[in-house]
């Protein structure tokens, strides 16, 4: 092998398909045959495996804890990983005990997420379409302003928003509509990816449809929407997931009114305010149940998700 | 079916770029009008203003008896074929063609009748169930045309419909458009940058440059009596040759001195110059490549030049020559009249002599670039 490197010998191969004679340089031969590539691969996969373990460990831990009974073993932290007996006690408690508000919280979260998925999708797609297709005064200004505003973290507005919502009666008892309002209100700012996707759909399709007799709305619904399926699904997915896992806004808008908590806030109350040692495994069980629908949704729609992100990225 | 009238139509973009200046044109009912010009001349912009896809900055646009400046495209009773076809990729050919009819809430039977009829005219019946992606370029173009004709529009707009096709298909589709035009007798406005398409398709041609109309006329008119240097150079292929020359006048008979030879004007042109009382002056002489003749025997009244490129086109030769004075000239010579020895003499570097009769000459004022022989509108 090392000989090959030093003596520049050239192999000649007849490529019948192209009808030419090709030279194969020793370096090329070396690369395809040597164990170098394999060694690199082994290295890469080792690193990837390590990273995967680090990432997955908390989730695996969470799942194991959720099956440890709070009745027969210990409801809090223990110094072993696998439960001694596998039980569904935690899950049963979540759904059946009268002290458990889990179902209520779950339902709250679901309502908020579903409403947001619908409203936010409509808003985001409308904004994106308008900015992609219509030319109006201040268009550039709006886009730049949104870009700058987007650089500030959303919870900077927390205090202001809380007082605004309070004026409208949309905190505590009105926390659910209040949260929907918060999530939707600024959602138009997340138009970038959709706009990028719309930009890749030729404008002449719009024009053709308009000459064919369609109104702008008909063009949007009948031509653009079917062609933008990946981005529509991506937008719905994002709009559903954001409130599903939100903690910051949900915790202070519903502050103190336990029946209006979402799942994240509610579960946190158990380990924070309530008996931390006793509720830990039940907290874990709740966490698993929160992850289930979102994981299922993601797996089912990941094809569109990738298409949406990459499709939109072609022209930003 | 409708006439289209553009009066002082102007297009100014937001960045103050004027795309179209004071466009005036009367398009007759059932006329086939072609807008032609180099890219950026404003032809597509004008078409898009007629379609309603661009706002009209100034002037009035009338379709039929109706001023339509502020009418939505969908209410202008027009159909348009786009350069990139603009077929809806997610629905079948049938649905593509039915789209406009369904928007108009036409009954299913009527839709079916019209679509199948249009498909038959265009020979695309067997593709009706396919998606646009599964069609070749020529088939897609047919669908695009079909989508327009099902509507039975008053005005048919076409924006460079053949530019995306390869040369062979383009010739074929051009012939089909001529046939189509006979079958669906309506007003056509066709935009192209290809002068061959313009010449073969148009009843009248509108030649544009930099947002201004240069000349409007039948193909024959614009070919034979170009109004200015631009039109003369744009129409015809290979392009007209331009030479520096001197116009002289001997007792009412005008003649042109060019590269050492003198060519008298024919009576018709002479009369025009006499009427305009043109003074002897330096002029730009235009001669089309196909109007030149090679001189093999008598070279006394011919221009001497050297062959630089000899292109054999089959039925004719395109000879790129450089005259003694250093001007480049293209000659288009039918091969059938040449003997073998004559052909051999036209090789690179050889000398040859050519001339042309007075009747083929075009004379332009070098300053204004206007034709001196243009009889006036």
B33 and B126 together in one domain: yes
Question: What does pTM read for this prediction?
Answer: 0.78
Any domain includes B333: yes
> Which of B44, B63, B99 should we substitute to test contact with A (largest number of A Cβ atoms within 10 Å)?
B99
> In sequence order, which ranges of chain B are alpha helices (DSSP H)?
43-51, 93-103, 108-122, 137-149, 167-183, 195-201, 219-224, 229-234, 267-276, 340-344
Domain that includes residue B114, residue range = 4-231
B152 and B257 together in one domain: no
Q: What is the per-residue pLDDT for A18? A: 52
B160 and B187 together in one domain: yes
Q: Dig out the tokens for B82 from the structure.
A: 């786009």
Q: Inform me whether the pLDDT recorded for A14 exceeds 60.
A: no
Write down the residue that tokens 């006439």 correspond to. B3
Any domain includes B374: no
Q: Dig out the tokens for A66 from the structure.
A: 């959720």
Q: What is the per-residue pLDDT for B343? A: 87
Interchain CB distance below 8 Å, A211 and B80:
yes
Domain A96-313 is found in CATH 1.10.3720.10: yes
Tell me, yes or no, if B102 comes closer than 8 A to chain A by beta carbon: no
Nearest to A212 among B14, B89, B100 (CB): B100
Q: Dig out the tokens for B56 from the structure.
A: 């009209």
More confident residue, A100 or B142: B142
Q: Map B24-82 to HEC letters.
A: EEEECCCCEEEEECCCCCCHHHHHHHHHCCCCCCEEEEEECCEECCCCCHHHCCEEEEC
B90 and B121 together in one domain: yes
Instruction: For residue B88, list chain A residues with Cβ-Cβ distance below 8 A.
Output: 205, 208-209, 223
Q: Inform me whether the pLDDT recorded for B227 exceeds 90.
A: yes
B254 and B212 together in one domain: no
pLDDT tens-place string over residues A224-268: 888 888 888 888 888 888 888 888 887 888 777 777 787 788 778
> Where does the pLDDT of residue A281 fall: very low under 50, low under 70, confident under 90, or very high at 90 and above?
confident
Percentage of residues of chain A with pLDDT beyond 70: 85
Instruction: For residue A222, list chain B residues with Cβ-Cβ distance below 8 A.
Output: 99
B42 and B174 together in one domain: yes
Q: What is the CATH number of the domain that holds B69?
A: 3.40.50.300
B18 and B115 together in one domain: yes
Any domain includes B375: no
Nearest to A207 among B53, B72, B147 (CB): B53
B215 and B239 together in one domain: no
pLDDT tens-place string over residues A125-152: 999 999 998 888 888 999 999 888 888 8
B224 and B255 together in one domain: no
Number of domains in chain B: 2
Q: Inform me whether the pLDDT recorded for A311 exceeds 70.
A: no
**CA distance, residue B90 to nearest chain A CA (Å):** 7
**CA distance, residue A212 to nearest chain B CA (Å):** 5
More confident residue, B216 or B375: B216
B96 and B242 together in one domain: no
Any domain includes B376: no
**Among A300, A313, A97, residue whose Cα is nearest residue A192:** A313
Q: Dig out the tokens for A53 from the structure.
A: 């373990």
> Where does the pLDDT of residue B243 fall: very low under 50, low under 70, confident under 90, or very high at 90 and above?
very high
> Where does the pLDDT of residue A312 fall: very low under 50, low under 70, confident under 90, or very high at 90 and above?
very low
Instruction: Locate the chain A residue with the closest alpha carbon to B86.
Output: A205
Tell me, yes or no, if B53 comes closer than 8 A to chain A by beta carbon: yes
Q: Where are the domains of chain A?
A: 2-33, 96-313
Q: What is the per-residue pLDDT for B286? A: 94
Q: Note which residues in 149-178 of chain B have CB less than 8 A from chain A.
A: 151
**Among B144, B147, B220, B191, residue whose Cα is nearest residue B32:** B191
Instruction: Locate the chain B residue with the closest alpha carbon to A202.
Output: B86
Q: Which of B181, B202, B231 is the last residue of a domain?
A: B231
Average pLDDT, chain A: 80
Tell me the longest C-alpha to C-alpha distance in chain B.
78
B208 and B262 together in one domain: no
B218 and B249 together in one domain: no
Tell me, yes or no, if B80 comes closer than 8 A to chain A by beta carbon: yes
Instruction: Locate the chain A residue with the closest alpha carbon to B84.
Output: A204
Q: Which of B177, B208, B231 is the last residue of a domain?
A: B231
pLDDT tens-place string over residues B298-329: 888 899 999 999 999 989 999 999 998 889 99
Inter-residue contact B1 to B185 (CB < 8 Å): yes
DSSP string over B257-271: EETTEEEEPPHHHHH
Q: Inform me whether the pLDDT recorded for A313 exceeds 60.
A: no
Interchain CB distance below 8 Å, A208 and B86:
yes
């Amino acid at each position: 092998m090392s000989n090959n490197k030093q003596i520049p010998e050239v192999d000649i191969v007849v490529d019948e398909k192209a009808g030419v004679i090709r030279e194969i340089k020793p370096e090329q031969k070396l690369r395809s045959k040597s164990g170098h590539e394999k060694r690199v691969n082994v290295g890469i996969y080792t690193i990837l495996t390590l990273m995967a373990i680090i990432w997955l460990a908390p989730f695996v831990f969470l799942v194991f804890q959720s099956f440890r009974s709070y009745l027969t073993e210990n409801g809090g932290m223990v110094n072993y990983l696998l439960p001694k007996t596998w039980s569904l006690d935690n899950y049963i408690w979540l759904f059946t005990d009268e002290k458990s508000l889990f179902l209520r919280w779950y339902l709250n979260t679901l309502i908020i997420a579903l409403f947001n998925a619908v409203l936010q999708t409509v808003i985001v797609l409308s904004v994106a379409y308008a900015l992609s297709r219509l030319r109006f005064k201040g268009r550039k200004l709006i886009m730049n302003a949104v870009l700058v505003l987007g650089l500030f973290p959303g919870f900077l507005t927390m205090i202001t928003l809380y007082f605004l919502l309070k004026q409208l009666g949309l905190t505590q008892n009105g926390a659910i509509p209040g949260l929907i309002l918060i999530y939707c209100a600024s959602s138009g700012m997340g138009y970038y990816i959709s706009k990028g996707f719309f930009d890749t759909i030729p404008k002449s399709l719009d024009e053709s449809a308009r000459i064919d007799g369609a109104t702008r709305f008909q063009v949007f619904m009948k031509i653009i929407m079917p062609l933008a399926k990946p981005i529509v699904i991506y937008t719905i997915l994002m709009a559903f997931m954001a409130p599903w896992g939100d903690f910051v806004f949900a915790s202070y808008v519903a502050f103190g009114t336990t029946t209006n908590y979402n799942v994240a806030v509610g579960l946190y109350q158990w380990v924070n305010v309530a008996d931390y040692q006793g509720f830990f495994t039940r907290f874990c069980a709740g966490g698993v149940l929160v992850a289930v629908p979102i994981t299922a949704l993601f797996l089912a729609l990941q094809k569109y998700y990738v298409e949406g992100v990459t499709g939109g990225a072609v022209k930003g | 079916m409708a006439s289209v009238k553009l009066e002082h139509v102007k297009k100014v973009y937001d960045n103050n770029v004027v795309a179209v200046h004071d466009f005036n044109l009367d398009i007759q009912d059932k006329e086939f009008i072609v807008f032609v010009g180099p890219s950026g001349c404003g032809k597509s912009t004008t078409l898009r203003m007629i379609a309603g896809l661009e706002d009209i900055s100034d002037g009035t646009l009338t379709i039929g008896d109706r001023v339509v400046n502020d009418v939505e495209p969908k209410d202008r009773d027009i159909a348009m074929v786009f350069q990139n076809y603009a077929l809806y990729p997610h629905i079948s050919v049938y649905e593509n063609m039915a789209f406009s009819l369904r928007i108009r809430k036409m009954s299913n039977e009527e839709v079916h009748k019209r679509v199948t009829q249009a498909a038959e005219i265009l020979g695309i019946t067997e593709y009706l169930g396919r998606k646009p992606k599964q069609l070749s370029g020529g088939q897609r173009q047919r669908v695009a045309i079909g989508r327009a004709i099902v509507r039975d529009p008053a005005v048919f707009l076409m924006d460079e419909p053949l530019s995306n096709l390869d040369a062979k298909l383009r010739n074929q589709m051009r012939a089909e458009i001529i046939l189509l035009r006979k079958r669906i007798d309506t007003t056509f406005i066709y935009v192209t940058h290809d002068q061959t398409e313009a010449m073969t398709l148009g009843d009248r041609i509108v030649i544009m440059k930099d947002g201004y109309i240069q000349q409007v006329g039948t193909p024959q008119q614009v070919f034979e009596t170009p109004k200015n240097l631009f039109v003369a150079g744009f129409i015809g292929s290979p392009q007209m040759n331009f030479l520096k020359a001197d116009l002289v006048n001997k007792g009412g008979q005008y003649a042109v001195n060019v590269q050492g030879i003198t060519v008298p004007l024919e009576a018709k042109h002479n009369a025009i110059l006499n009427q305009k009382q043109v003074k002897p002056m330096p002029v730009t002489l235009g001669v089309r490549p196909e109007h030149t003749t090679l001189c093999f025997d008598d070279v006394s009244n011919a221009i001497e030049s050297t062959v630089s490129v000899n292109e054999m086109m089959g039925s004719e030769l395109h000879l790129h020559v450089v005259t003694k004075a250093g001007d480049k000239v293209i000659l288009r010579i039918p091969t059938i009249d040449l003997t073998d020895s004559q052909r051999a003499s036209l090789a690179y570097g050889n000398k040859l002599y050519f001339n042309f009769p007075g009747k083929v000459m075009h004379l332009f004022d070098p300053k204004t670039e206007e034709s001196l022989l243009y009889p006036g509108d």
